[in-house]
Homo-oligomer: A and B are copies of this chain.
Amino acid sequence: MSTTPRPLRNVLFIMADQLRWDYLSCYGHPTLKTPHIDALARRGVRFANAFVQGPVCGASRMSTYTGRYVSTHGSAWNFVPLSVGQKTLGDHVRPHGVRCAVVGKTHVEPDVEGARRLGIDTTQGAGLLAMEGGFEPYERDDGILPAGFKVEGNRYCDYLRAHGYPGDNPWHDWANSGEDDKGHVLSGWEMRWADRPARVAEEHSETPYMTRRAMQFIEEQGDRPWVLHLSYIKPHWPYVAPAPYHAMYSPADVVPARRSQAERDDPHPVVRGYMDTDPSRSFSQPEVRERVIPTYMGLIKQLDDQLGLLFEFLRAKGIDQETLIVFTSDHGDYLGDHWLGEKELFHDAVVKVPLIVVDPRPEADAVRGRVVHELVESIDLIPTFLDALDLPQPTEWLEGASLQPLLHGQGAGPWRDAVFSENSYAFRDPVRLPLGRPVDGCLMTMVRTHRWKYVHYEGVAPQLFDLQADPDEFTDLGQDPAHAQVREQMAGRLFDWLRQRKRFPSITYDDIEQWNRREVQAGIQIGAW
C-alpha cells in the first residue's frame, strides 16, 4: 500500500453470548430476520469461517481477551482463574491513552491466589484491572445467578429494584423467570417455562439495559479514545425473553435439528458422555426444541433491535466514522443438533461464530458487503484492534493475525490454513468418569481446515470429518482405515501448532534480536582468549 490508513479513535467490540453463527439472516437463517446486523454486514465484511478457540464461554473469551490459544493462557474452562501472568487487550491499549472498559459479561475469573501470592492490592488501580481481565468494569455483569442466590453489589439488580422489581435476586425472579396464572415465579433455569414472557417490561430486560449503558459510556467519553467491550449476556440461557419477543416466533419457525440416527446409535465415547448430560437429553426431545428455540430466536431479535438503536446513535453523532465496529459471539449452542445440548464439543454449531467487522475508512470501501471465506480465529481480534488504532503489535504475546488486510481488500497473502479450538471434559463427570480418565488426561483439541476437521483426544480415538463430503458432520472417520493418512497429516498439524506457540512472552522479539550487541556493550566477554 502506498499510504498508511489514518488511525481510528475507537473500537466498539460487541459480543453476544452463545449466539450460533447460523441464527442471523445474513448468515442464512430462513425465518429469523436480523436486519440491523445484516445492515452492519453490508457496511463491512462478514466472515464466513470464523472460529473460537474454545467451545465454552470462559476459555473462549480468555482467548479473545488475551489473543492467545487456551493452552497458552491456561484458563482451561469456565471459572478457571485467568493467571495474573497473562496480558490482555487492556494492557495493550491503556498505556497508549485508550480507555478500555466492559459493559456486560467477560466471565473473567480473578486469579485471587496469584494476587495474594504477589501482594497485589485488588481493590483499585492496576490490581483491580488485573482481576477484571484488563477491562475497566464500567458495568461488569456475567448474568449467571442461581435461584435463591442473594445478589449484592450488582448494578443491574439495583436498577431492577429501583424500577419496581424487588427481592434478593431480581435478576432471577423478574428478568429471567416467567410466572403462572397466580403470579408465582416459574424459574428460567427450567427450560419448560421458556415460552412465558419475562416478568419485566422489555425496556428493563438485560439487553436494552446494557445497550443504554454502552451509550452512556460513549457519551461520557466525548472525543477521548476508547475500546468498549459491549458484551451481551443473551441469547445465553436462562432462555427467557420479555414480551413481545417471547412470542415472536413459533415452532413453525424452528429449523430441524441436524442429527442422524447413526450418530445416536454409535457415538464416539466422549460424545456419548456429553449425550448423557442434562442439556443433551433435554434438547433431544422435540418438545424442548419447540419450546426453547423460539425464545432463543426472540432474544436474538431483541438484540438485533437494540443494535439498530445503538448503530443509529453512533451514526447520529458521527462516532461511527471514528470507530471500528466488531460483532461476534463467544460460541454457539447445539440446540439439539447431533443429539446434543449446550456446547463443549467442536461441531461447527458451536465453534463457528458470526463475525462482522466494519472499518469506516476509505481503504475499506471497495470491500463493503463482502463475504470473506478465509479461516479466522477470535485471537485475531486484538491484532486487528491494535492495527485499527495504529498501536504496536506485541508479537511475543499475540498468537493471532490482524484481519486488516482482509478488511481492506488487500487479500490475505499467505494466510493460515487451519484453525484450532481446545477444551477439557475433566469438568464433566458424566463424560470423564465412564472413561476412567484422570483429570489431567481429558484435553480435546480440534484442528480444522476448509476440508477436514480432526479432534484429538488423549487416550481415546480421534474424530475426523470430511466437511466437503459431509458438511453436517454426521460421519466420524476417526477410525476409518481409508483415512489413516489424513489423520496422520492432521495430527502433524497439531504437532506443528504446539511447537510454535508463544511461550516466551517475557522478552520482546526486538530485545532478542539486539541480544549480542547488548552483551558486547555491557562488557560481557565469553570465551575470549
By a beta-carbon cutoff of 8 Å, the part of chain A in contact with chain B is 71-72, 74-77, 80-87, 91, 111, 113-114, 116-121, 125-127, 130, 144, 146-149, 189-192, 237, 277-283, 285, 288, 341-342, 395-396, 424, 426-429, 439-440, 443, 445, 456, 458, 491, 494-495, 498-507, 509, 512-513, 515-516, 522-529
The interface residues of chain B lying within 8 Å CB-to-CB of A77 are 507
Given A114-B506, A528-B278, answer yes or no on A427-B515 (Cβ-Cβ < 8 Å).
Answer: yes
- Please state if B71 and A91 are interface contacts (CB–CB under 8 Å): no
User: A114, A126, A522: which has the most chain B beta carbons within 10 Å?
Assistant: A114
Known A190-B529, A529-B288; judge A458-B499 contact (CB<8 A).
Answer: yes
Q: CA of A503 to CA of B428 in the docked complex: distance in angstroms?
A: 19
In the assembled complex, the CB of A54 is this many whole angstroms from the nearest CB of chain B, namely: 12
CB neighbours (8 Å) of A501 from chain B are 71
Set of chain B residues within 8 Å of A456, measured between Cβ atoms? 499
Total identical chains: 2
Known: A111-B506, A113-B506, A191-B529. 11 other contacts (CB 8 A): A80-B506, A83-B85, A83-B506, A85-B86, A118-B120, A189-B528, A190-B529, A278-B526, A281-B527, A285-B529, A494-B495
Complex CA gap A86/B529 in Å reads 39
Given known pairs A192-B529, A282-B528, the reply for A523 and B147 (CB within 8 Å) is: yes
A458 / chain B contacts, CB cutoff of 8 Å: 499-500
Q: Are B130 and A191 in contact, CB atoms less than 8 angstroms apart? A: no
How far is A396 from B83 in the complex, measured between Cα atoms in Å?
Answer: 13
The listed residue (B76, B117, B237, B522) touching A507 by CB distance below 8 A is: B76
**CB atoms of B282 and A524 under 8 A apart:** no
Tell me which residues across on chain B come within 8 A of A278, comparing CB atoms: 525-529
Tell me, in angstroms, the Cα distance from A281 to B529 when the chains sit together. 9
12 interchain pairs, CB-CB under 8 A = A80-B506, A85-B86, A116-B126, A119-B125, A120-B120, A146-B522, A189-B524, A190-B529, A278-B528, A280-B527, A341-B527, A426-B512
B118 and A126 within 8 A (CB): yes
- Min CB distance A290 to B, Å, is 12
Query: Residue on B with the closest CB to A427?
Result: B515
Partner of A498, one of B144, B189, B192, B495: B495
Measured between beta carbons, the chain B residues less than 8 angstroms from A83 are 85, 505-506
Q: Is the CB of A190 within 8 A of B525?
A: yes
For the complex, give the distance between the alpha carbons of A356 and B260 in Å. 62
Shortest distance from the beta carbon of A274 to any chain B beta carbon, whole Å: 11
What's the nearest-Cβ distance from chain B to residue A10, in Å?
23
Known contacts A126-B119, A498-B498, A516-B428: A277-B527 contact under CB 8 Å: yes
Contact, CB under 8 Å: B126 / A117:
yes
Most chain B CB neighbours (cut-off 10 Å) among A130, A189, A458, A506 = A506
B503 touches A72 (CB 8 A): yes
C-alpha gap A529/B342 in the complex (Å): 13
Q: How far is the CA of A85 from the CA of B74 in the complex (A)?
A: 11
Q: How far is the CB of A130 from chain B (nearest CB, A)?
A: 5
Closest residue of chain B to A72 (Cβ to Cβ) is B503
CA distance A182 to B305 in the complex (A): 90
Please state if B429 and A516 are interface contacts (CB–CB under 8 Å). Answer: yes
Taken together as a complex, chains A and B put the C-alpha atoms of A75 and B522 apart, in Å, by 21
In the assembled complex, the Cα of A527 lies from the Cα of B283 at a distance in Å of 8
Q: How far is the CB of A95 from chain B (nearest CB, A)?
A: 9
Q: How far is the CB of A501 from chain B (nearest CB, A)?
A: 8
Rounded to whole angstroms, the CA-CA distance of A279 and B519 in the bound complex is: 15
Closest CB in chain B relative to A304 CB, distance in Å:
26
Whether the Cβ atoms of A144 and B524 lie closer than 8 Å is yes
Residue of B nearest to A85 (CB): B85
Please give, as numbers and ranges, the residues of chain B lying within 8 Å of A440 by CB-CB distance. Answer: 395-396, 500, 502, 509
With A76-B504, A526-B237 in contact, do A512 and B130 touch (Cβ < 8 Å)? no
A81 engages B507 (CB within 8 Å): yes
For A146, the chain B residues whose CB sits under 8 A away are: 522-525
A157 to chain B, nearest CB (A): 16
Pair A523/B149 contact, Cβ less than 8 Å? yes
A341-B527, A439-B509, A523-B146 as given contacts; A503 in contact with B117, CB under 8 Å: no
Please report the C-alpha to C-alpha distance between residue A526 and residue B428 in the assembled complex, in whole angstroms: 12
- Report the minimum CB–CB distance from A58 to chain B (whole Å): 11
Bound Cα distance from A424 to B277, whole angstroms: 46
